[in-house]
Structure 1
Amino acid sequence: MSNVPDFAALLRSAQRSAVHLEMRDAYAVGDEAEEIDRFARTGEIELDPEASWWPEWLGLVRETIDRGVVVRRARIVSEPVTDYIRWEHAVTPMNLAAGELVRWLPRSQASDIALPGNDFWLIDDRLVLFHFFTGYGDWAEPGFAFSEDPATVRLVSSAFETVWERGTPHDKYSV
């Protein structure tokens, strides 16, 4: 999340909850490229929490959860899933081990949900961080936007909670 200014500070500001909704079938952000390429070629995944960019992220998540904050992630995916989603599913045990809760929702079950146009993080039902990606899945300029607008917060909160209610916990979702 290099385009997000001081994301660690944002997550550290959470007091009760931090939720993340992902709605793309593929991302092409640089820090994952090598691992995804290897997975596409060999089917192998890296589940070492000390490898690559994982230590920083997992440490931040553990620190956040240790303060009593609930961290949930929901993913809306097309089926059959893309190779990227297959990789993401395979490495999700890392998120779970850090304490995140993760659910998956097939896109076909999201047709009647009012969804925002972009992925987001919602912190304590007060602050939304939207992420902007190119059509190819890399960061788009400006990369992000913040909103504390009450109507926007209500929209993203409602969208997330509906996806969460319908979603399948990671351990029960197969790709």
Structure 2
Amino acid sequence: MGKLPTFEELFRGCERSAVHLEMRDGYMRSDPAFIDWSEGKRFDPADRWRSWFDIVSETTGRGVAVRRARIVSEPVSDYIRFEHEVTDGLNVASGEQVRWLPRRRTTDFFLPGNDFWVFDEHLILINHFDGNGDSLEHEFSEDADLADLLSRAFEAVWDRAVPHASYRLG
């Protein structure tokens, strides 16, 4: 454990890759964007999350591969429907590659218990959430063994997952 760098610092310092594994069926259900979407209000995701869009666009523009894999239960939750709908206008538009993997296809994987980011195969940011999907804290680590374990878990999911453009909500 060490000083917790910001997302901006991690992305700006990143030289080769940033990978993110998401494994929950819902996050921050109190998020105004999710509530608006649930009520049928449409918005531009890149405008709603401008700072995220800008930092990822800047990072991918430097040639860094930013990849996100999402493990989802099927049939999917409303929150996953929301994420799927905004992915083109936010993640893909900023240069991020996104893949989806139905949870039932992960039984033979050993996966960590928390969502995480790994930057350049050695800087780790672990995401801790409460039962409602609200962020509790981030944990930063430079533990080489943990980075290797998480990177291998991500790659196993990535290799089996379906690219965003081809994934149909189950």
Letter in 2 for 1:47: D
Contact 1:29 1:139 in 2 (8 A): no
Deviation at 1:114, TM superposition (A): 1.3
**Letter paired with 1:109:** R
Match of 1:22 in 2: 22
Identity %: 50
Residue 47 of structure 1: aligned partner: 44
Indicate how the Cα distance of structure 1 residues 48 and 158 shifts in structure 2: closer, same or farther if over 3 A, else same.
closer
State the Cα deviation string for residues 83-139 of structure 1 (Å, max 9, x = none).
000000000002101100000000001111111111001000011100000011111
Q: Does 1:87 align with 2:82?
A: yes
Per the TM alignment, residue 37 of structure 1 is displaced from its structure 2 partner at its CA by 1.2
**Structure 2 SS opposite 1:98:** coil
SS of the equivalent of 2:99 reads strand
User: Does the residue aligned with 2:39 lie in a helix, a strand or coil?
Assistant: helix
Counterpart of 1:166?
Answer: 160
Q: Which amino acid aligns with 1:70?
A: A
The aligned counterpart of 1:156 is 150
Structure 1: runs of 5 or more not aligned: none
- Extract structure 1 runs of 4+ deviating beyond 3 A: none
Conservation of the 8 A alpha-carbon contact between 2:20 and 2:67: yes
Q: 1:48 to 1:159 in 2, by over 3 A?
A: closer
Which of residues 52, 60, 83 is equivalent to 1:57?
52
Please, what TM-score do these two structures have when normalized by structure 1?
0.89
Instruction: Give, as a single letter, the amino acid of the residue that structure 2 aligns with 1:77.
Output: V
1: distance between equivalents of 2:6 and 2:123? 14
Once the two structures are TM-superposed, the CA of residue 39 in structure 1 deviates from its matched residue by 1.8
- Which residue pairs with 2:8 in the alignment? 8
Paired with 1:49 and 1:149, the residues of 2 have a C-alpha distance of 34
How many residue pairs were aligned? 165
> 8 Å contact 2:67–2:96 — kept in the other structure?
yes
Q: RMSD over aligned Cα, in angstroms?
A: 1.4
- Larger deviation: 97-106 or 145-154? 145-154
Give the counterpart of 2:107 among 82, 106, 111: 111
Match in the other structure for 1:122 = 118
Per the normalisation by structure 2, the TM-score is 0.92
